[in-house]
Structure 1
Amino acid sequence: MDPDQIDPAGEGRVLSPDDGDYLRFERTLEQSPAEVWAALTDPDRTAAWAFRTEFEPREGGAVTMSDGGSGEVLAWEEPHSLEYAWDGYGGRWQVRIAIAEHGDGAYLTFDHVGPDPNSPDIAAGWHWHLDRLEVHLAGGTPEAVDSDAHFEELQRLYAHAEG
């Protein structure tokens, strides 16, 4: 994946069911559900594409992040379902992840539940991290940066979509 190209199919969109808004990303991946699960839950691997995150692998288990955030695992069904929440910048963060078999690979559904699923900056941030996850899964090494030109382009894309 060329990091300077934005895949419109990879864009997040806000869904608004009766129980509240959430931001959804969907990705078709070439790797197996077990490989995607490992990239999402192994602390050394999460550090490669986002930030180091350690999980106590069970519902009700602890979540600890390298940036000092901490929270709890809300669902843990290896290798298909992960949900967790933590206290961080801007309030209580919560994500819900589903991984399904899709041909020889996997289909990833990533939902950002809170805070503010309508925020263009949050949408750009998760899109950027998921693009980095794809690079990692493909055997690449995303550059160890907090931002880059691709992230800035995603910020413009989502800010424009809001307006």
Structure 2
Amino acid sequence: MTLISDPAALAGMVTREVRTGSRDGKPTRIAVARRTYPTDQGDLWDALTDAERIPRWFLPISGELAEGGRYQLEGQAGGVVERCDAPKVFAITWEFAGQVSWVKVSLSPSGDDTELELEHEMPVDPQFWGQFGPGAVGVGWDLALLGLAAHIATGEPVDPDVGRTLHKTPEGKDFIRRAATSWAEAAMADGDDPDAARAAADATFAFYTVEPEDTPESR
């Protein structure tokens, strides 16, 4: 299965926005991604919330996928399902590497298609945000939404080997570069310094594409 045939077109299918917010009196930044899928709302909801379908485009998942339950993605984040209003919206905590952030996914009809809006809200860590900006989480979600699109189009699982090696291909690198640049532009629109935002996009691109053995520290 080929995930990326036209990097520019596929990167352009996602609308990206960055917002400044607050939670419990503390400042947050919110990365927002929107993409429309050629399927009905019920099918897209099922792909996003069914434990047997999620690994077909994302990662194996365990736990109780119901409001109040805990979930765990294999090798990635876990957390609590804080809200589940089928087939419209769910919200989860995203607990990874000792940090807690929040993800909300909303679905709405768009003609015969369905629009997905994903919001990832993060506490402001000046060092981390200054280094990577919103692309740190944004590009990861771009890649996940790409896999979701492939699954929706065919109904078949995404080949894990394709997903694992995508960042090594010219098409994958082009897609990641375009996505990181778009997140930088969204951050600038929310008030980030342009030079800092562009530098963060470069760091994000390197984070997603440079193999550990290619880094100076590993030589």
| Fold shared, TM-score > 0.5 on shorter chain | yes
**What one-letter code is carried by the residue in structure 2 that aligns with 1:78?**
A
The residue number in structure 2 matching 1:132 is 147
Deviates more, 1:47-56 or 1:72-81: 47-56
The residue number in structure 1 matching 2:188 is none
Does residue 146 (structure 1) correspond to residue 164 (structure 2)? The answer is yes
Query: SS of 1:75's equivalent?
Result: strand
**What one-letter code is carried by the residue in structure 2 that aligns with 1:87?**
E
Does residue 30 (structure 1) correspond to residue 38 (structure 2)? The answer is yes
The residue number in structure 2 matching 1:13 is 17
Query: SS of 2:46's equivalent?
Result: helix
The residue number in structure 1 matching 2:201 is none
Closer, same or farther in 2 for the Cα pair 1:34/1:135, shift >3 Å?
Answer: same
After superposition, the C-alpha distances for 1:45-71 in whole angstroms (9 at most, x for unaligned) are: 111111122452432111122226431
Closer, same or farther in 2 for the Cα pair 1:74/1:17, shift >3 Å?
Answer: same
Q: Pick from 153, 157, 160: which aligns with 2:178?
A: 157
Deviates more, 1:150-159 or 1:117-126: 150-159
Q: Structure 1 residue 17: deviation in Å?
A: 4.3
**What one-letter code is carried by the residue in structure 1 that aligns with 2:19?**
L
- The runs of 5 or more residues in structure 1 that have no matched partner are none
- The structure that is helix-richer by fraction is 2
Whether the aligned pair in 2 keeps the contact of 1:94 and 1:113 (CA below 8 Å) is yes
Whether the aligned pair in 1 keeps the contact of 2:11 and 2:178 (CA below 8 Å) is no
Identity in percent: 21
Whether the aligned pair in 2 keeps the contact of 1:28 and 1:107 (CA below 8 Å) is yes
Q: Aligned partners of 2:159, 2:99: CA distance in 1, in Å?
A: 28
Whether the aligned pair in 2 keeps the contact of 1:70 and 1:86 (CA below 8 Å) is yes
**What one-letter code is carried by the residue in structure 2 that aligns with 1:120?**
G
After superposition, the C-alpha distances for 1:2-37 in whole angstroms (9 at most, x for unaligned) are: 614233241432122466321111111111111011
| 1:48-87 matched pairs, under 5 angstroms | 48-54=56-62, 56-67=64-75, 69-87=77-95
Q: Structure 1 residue 158: deviation in Å?
A: 4.4
> Which of the two has higher C-alpha Rg?
2
Q: Aligned partners of 2:95, 2:35: CA distance in 1, in Å?
A: 26
Q: Structure 1 residue 136: deviation in Å?
A: 0.5
Deviates more, 1:89-98 or 1:30-39: 89-98
RMSD: 2.6
After superposition, the C-alpha distances for 1:105-144 in whole angstroms (9 at most, x for unaligned) are: 2111111113668332321111011011011011154231
Closer, same or farther in 2 for the Cα pair 1:119/1:89, shift >3 Å?
Answer: farther
**What one-letter code is carried by the residue in structure 2 that aligns with 1:142?**
V
Q: How many residues align?
A: 163
Q: Aligned partners of 2:78, 2:29: CA distance in 1, in Å?
A: 23
Whether the aligned pair in 2 keeps the contact of 1:41 and 1:54 (CA below 8 Å) is no
